A = this chain, B = another copy of it.
Amino acid sequence: MNKVQPKTLSGFMELLPNEQVLFNQMQDKIRASYEKFGFLPIDTPVIEASEVLLAKAGGETEKQLYNFTKGDSNLTLRFDLTVPLAKYVAEYYNEITFPFRRYQIGKVYRGERAQRGRFREFYQCDIDIIGDGKLNIINDAEIPAVMYETFKSLGLENFSIHINNRKILNGLFEAADVKEKSVDIMRTIDKIEKIGKETVIAIFKDDYKMTENSINKIVEFIEISGTTDEKIEKLQSLNIDNELYLKGVEELKEVVKHIRLFNVPEDAFEIDLSIARGLDYYTGTVYETFLNDYKSIGSICSGGRYNDLAGYYTDKELPGVGMSIGLTRLFFILNDIGLIKTDKKSISDVLIISMVEDLSKSIEVANQLRASNINTEIYFDDKKIKAKFKYADKLKIPYVIVIGEDEIKSGLLTIKDMNEGTQEQMSIEKVIEKLNK
Contact = CB atoms under 8 A, between A and B. Distances in A.
Contact of A1 (B261, B311, B348): B311
Interface stretch (A5-13, A229-237, A288-296, A405-413): A5-13
A253 B342 CA distance: 43
B41 A8 contact: no
B258 A363 contact: yes
Contact of A347 (B6, B38, B99, B111): B38
Contacts of A142: 378, 380
A356 interface: no
A130 to B, nearest CB: 12
Contact of A16 (B95, B312, B314, B359): B95
Interface in A357-409: 359-360, 363-364, 367, 370, 373-378, 380-382, 391, 394-395, 397
Interface residues of A, number: 100
Given A24-B41, A36-B373, A121-B47, A314 B6 contact: yes
A166 interface: no
A161 interface: no
A184 to B, nearest CB: 25
Contacts of A374: 36
Stoichiometry, as copies per complex, reads 2
B44 A377 contact: no
A66 B47 contact: yes
B313 A262 contact: no
Nearest to A371: B263
Interface string A1-27: 101111111001111110011011000
A48 interface: yes
B42 A17 contact: yes
A216 B378 CA distance: 43
A303 interface: no
Interface string A118-152: 00010000000001001110110010000001000
Interface stretch (A49-57, A196-204, A218-226, A426-434): A49-57
A62 interface: no
Contacts of A424: none
B91 A7 contact: yes
Given A41-B20, A48-B8, A373-B36, A66 B70 contact: yes
A340 to B, nearest CB: 16
A436 interface: no
Given A20-B40, A41-B17, A48-B9, A3 B313 contact: yes
A68 interface: yes
Contacts of A91: 6-8
A374 B311 CA distance: 36
Interface string A55-79: 1000000000011111101010000
Given A21-B40, A375-B38, A377-B101, A8 B310 contact: no
Given A9-B49, A70-B111, 12 more contacts: A6-B52, A9-B75, A16-B92, A17-B40, A17-B42, A20-B42, A21-B41, A35-B347, A37-B377, A40-B347, A46-B121, A136-B381
Interface of A: 1, 3-9, 12-17, 20-21, 23-24, 35-49, 51-52, 55, 66-71, 73, 75, 86-88, 90-92, 95-97, 99, 101-102, 107, 109, 111, 121, 131, 134-136, 138-139, 142, 149, 258, 261-263, 310-315, 347-348, 351, 359-360, 363-364, 367, 370, 373-378, 380-382, 391, 394-395, 397
